[in-house]
Chains A and B, each alone.
Chain A
């Protein structure tokens, strides 16, 4: 499979490329230039031909929807950049994908959409997102909104993965436990599972999964839907 991964400057994109390149051809992209061992194309995800060229020949797009942390633009402040990137650039990317006959996309979203719920609630994919107006959280919500319209109208099959703070288990072993942690290797595994998701008999062009770390003391397993539907099987625990 030919895979395009956006947000190449992120550690997650690099980890995805390393793992997925074992079985797929991987192309990376970002709005800034980076050094990488993989094929890389710098692209602003504008509405011109360069975005079409970026996605041409791809079978699937993994859209992490992440701006480089130090990215700036003289014409827009950082809040605007985030909202603009999550909406307009996501639209441009997916529109180009449709034009170039890409069939599938995986969108990286956030569990911060559920932060306003109390911790003792059994929040899962059946609960309505409650975004704050924080530009990152609002932007992720609007990115999902955009993806859903492409999926709803049958233009693309889109899988949305929502996850928390991406960490390496060895980096946080001395830190106070944070229930939003997800180990980067488990998250890469989740994306791999999403790539293999088969569309069932129903016309289901949109699916969403919460990707959470294993928790041995939970009443029922976290990421229950992802385990049952796409075979997500997390290996890393932050508490025994």
Chain B
């Protein structure tokens, strides 16, 4: 399959490239070039409709790893307008499969996250407007982007799988400590990348609808978010569990 990767050199993109390259022909795009790559690379700014549409020509699927968090103008350019460009590109070229990504807060912002447990993916998005309690439109600009994806699936023959992450961890460079607990939504970058590969493999006819959201979190016992849907539909099976973090440390 010919796969366009948007945001291919960011935090997650390189791990997605590693997960997909044995199976697919990749066109990697970003505003920053990779240090070294065996794949076709194109400079693509998500704020440019022309660049995104041109990059999608000849592709069978799109994986969107692009994200910008803090800067208010660029965050909307990448996360909101970028999604509009991506979906326009998919429709222009007849691409049926799009994998979008984002933080879980685009669905479960503070009005859920501060209050509720047993949260599923089948709930209306409540991103809130200030993810970190200040002037930061990260979650709402990504949430608007996912809403754009949803509207396109309701108007065109295109499927979107939105994979939600949080607390992305690189097991080779862990930033956590045994016994200190984790946020109740956590996944390793390689498991997250594997979820993207699964999204490319799943039979579109097996999806309940043309717009499906998945919590891509590892197996943790907190009872706040569940990965059951990702396991059931995508076959997601996380390898990195971080048990040592959410178990108390005992000296004996």
Which residues of chain B come closer than 8 Å to A46, judged between CB atoms?
73
Main secondary structure of the interface of A (DSSP, over half): helix
The reply to whether A152 and B151 contact each other, CB–CB distance below 8 Å, is no
Grouping DSSP codes into helix (H, G, I), strand (E, B) and loop, the B interface class, with mixed when no group exceeds half, is: helix
Instruction: Give the docked Cα–Cα distance between A77 and B49 (Å).
Output: 9
Binds A, one of B134-142, B169-177, B237-245: B134-142
A92 touches B80 (CB 8 A): no
A228 to chain B, nearest CB (A): 26
Question: Could you tell me the distance between the alpha carbons of A79 and B91 in the complex, rounded to whole angstroms?
Answer: 15
B143 to chain A, nearest CB (A): 8
Known: A84-B81, A88-B72, A149-B109. A138 touches B129 (CB 8 A): no
B-chain residues with CB within 8 Å of residue A83 when the two chains form the complex: 80-81, 84, 148
Contact of B111 among A95, A145, A152 (CB under 8 A): A152
Asked whether any CB of chain A lies closer than 8 Å to the CB of B147, the reply is yes
24 contacts between A and B (CB under 8 A): A47-B73, A47-B135, A79-B49, A79-B84, A83-B81, A83-B148, A84-B77, A87-B76, A88-B73, A88-B137, A91-B76, A91-B137, A91-B140, A95-B135, A131-B151, A132-B151, A133-B155, A145-B143, A145-B147, A146-B140, A149-B126, A153-B129, A153-B130, A155-B129
Beyond A149-B129, A153-B129, 17 additional pairs, beta carbon < 8 A: A46-B73, A79-B49, A83-B84, A87-B141, A88-B72, A88-B80, A88-B137, A88-B141, A91-B72, A138-B84, A149-B128, A149-B140, A150-B129, A152-B111, A152-B128, A153-B109, A153-B111
Chain A hits for B137, CB < 8 A = 88, 91
**What's the interface size class on B, roughly?**
20 to 34
Residues of chain B lying within 8 A (CB to CB) of residue A79: 49, 84
A200 CB → nearest B CB, Å:
20
What residues of chain A lie closer than 8 Å to B111, measured between beta carbons? 152-153
Question: What number of A residues sit within 8 Å (CB to CB) of B?
Answer: 27
Q: Within the assembled complex, what's the spacing in Å between the Cα atoms of A130 and B152?
A: 11
| Distance A145 CA – B128 CA, assembled complex (angstroms) | 10
